[in-house]
Amino acid sequence: MTKMRALFAGAAVALSLGAVPLAALQPARAAEGIAPPALEWPQAGPFGVFDRPALQRGYQVYKEVCAACHSMRLLSYRNLQDIGFSEDQVKAIAAQDQVAVIDDNGDAATRPGLPSDPFHSPFPNENAARASNGGALPPDLSLMAKARKDGTNYLAALLTGFSEPPADVKMADGKYYNEYFPGHQIGMPPPLTADQVTYEDGTAATVPQMAHDVATFLSWAAEPKLEERKRLGLKVMAFLAVLSVLTYLCYRRVRRRVQGH
């Protein structure tokens, strides 16, 4: 009996030594790039809401810079009303696009875009996209902020993470060194330069500012119901907290009838 206890104590010690790497719950992914610095995002936390001006500036950066190569096929122009554009503004934005249609005679034609149309894609198909980008495919950005670990921070870091490669790194042809990209060699040339866009609200268009704004925009694009979700979540939590107290009081009261509880 005592021998057995000792045996188990030994086994417990051995196992808890094995449990030390429990701290390493997150899989090691050093090979995939450096963890991006954690920035402050107003949409984070239980009360988080998006910064509307940043969203609109971010859309401007996407439209004037990123959209040259990257599609956002899951978004429609009508969605832009959610980030503070008026109905008329959305109509005007959509009308700048020309949408391919088949007319009444069965001939290929175009018409101005409508709010219900999806965002214009820069390339008609994957082959065309690859052919224009040295064989690399610029990924669709609709879900990018959720498709990477710590996506919003990652996007802001990636867009500001370009530098000259260290002396010991041999770059492949047509690749650019980026500290935060897995493997550090990215097909995308540094997309942002200072004052590349002119913000209507007068914000200085520095590279970190544009990266921050477009990361905010992509964060919204990937999770457009974030604000609705958190608002409802707070109500649900408050409701459940009250209901838990009430059911607990009920339980105590009912249980008073039987002894031992």
Partner 1 sequence: MSGSTLPTNNKAIKWFDERLPLLSLLRDSLVIYPAPRNLNYWWSFGSLAGFMLVAQLVTGIMLAMHYTPHVTLAFTSVEHIMRDVNYGWLLRYAHANGASMFFIVVYIHIFRGLYYGSYKAPREVLWWLGVIILLLMMATAFMGYVLPWGQMSYWGATVITNLFSAIPKLGEAIVTLLWGGPSVANPTLNRFYSLHYLLPFVIVGVVILHLWALHTSKSNNPLGIDIKGEQDMIPFHPYYTVKDLFGICVFLMFYAYWVFFNPNGLGEPDNYIEANILVTPQHIVPEWYFLPFYAILRAIPSKLFGVLAMISAIIVLFFLPWLDRSKVRSARFRPVYRQAFWIFAVDCVILGVVGANPPEGHWVLIGRLATLYYFTHFLVIVPVISIFEKTLPLPDSIAKAVLGGPAKH
Where does this chain bind partner 1 (CB under 8 A)?
Answer: 1, 4-5, 8-9, 11-12, 15-16, 18-19, 21-22, 24-29, 31-32, 46, 74, 79, 142-143, 146-149, 151, 182, 222, 224-225, 228-230, 232-234, 236-237, 240-241, 243-244, 247-248, 250-251, 254-255, 258-261
Ramachandran area for residue 161 (φ above 0: left; ψ -120 to 50: alpha; else beta): alpha
In the complex with partner 1, the residue whose CB is nearer, 7 or 109, is 7
Task: Give the chain's end-to-end CA distance (angstroms, integer).
Answer: 35
DSSP β-bridge partners for residue 111: 99
Alpha carbon 171 to its chain's center: 28
**Cβ 147 to partner 1 shortest distance, Å:** 4
In whole angstroms, the minimum distance from the beta carbon of 209 to partner 1 comes to: 26
Cβ 33 to partner 1 shortest distance, Å: 11
Q: Which is nearer to partner 1, 39 or 74 (CB)?
A: 74
- Residue 175 or 192: the one with the smaller Cβ distance to partner 1 is 175
When the beta carbons of 198 and 247 are compared against partner 1, the nearer one is 247
Of the two residues 14 and 131, which places its CB atom closer to partner 1 in the complex? 14
**DSSP string for 110-128:** EEE--TTSBPPPSSSSHHH
Count the Cβ atoms, other than its own, within 10 Å of residue 59: 24
| Spatial distance between the Cα atoms of 161 and 191, rounded to a whole number of angstroms | 11
- The nearest distance, CB 34 to partner 1, in angstroms, is 15
Q: Which CB sits closer to partner 1, 109 or 243?
A: 243
CA neighbours closer than 13 Å in the CB half-sphere of residue 76: 8
Strand 185-186 to 176-177 pairing: antiparallel
Q: Return the number of the residue (24 or 167) whose C-beta is nearest partner 1.
A: 24
Quote the least distance from Cβ 62 to partner 1, whole Å. Answer: 17
With contact defined as beta carbons under 8 Å apart, do 55 and 217 qualify? yes
Residue 48 vs residues 144, 218, 235: alpha-carbon distances, Å: 20, 16, 14
Closest Cα to residue 179, out of 34, 30, 31, 38? 34
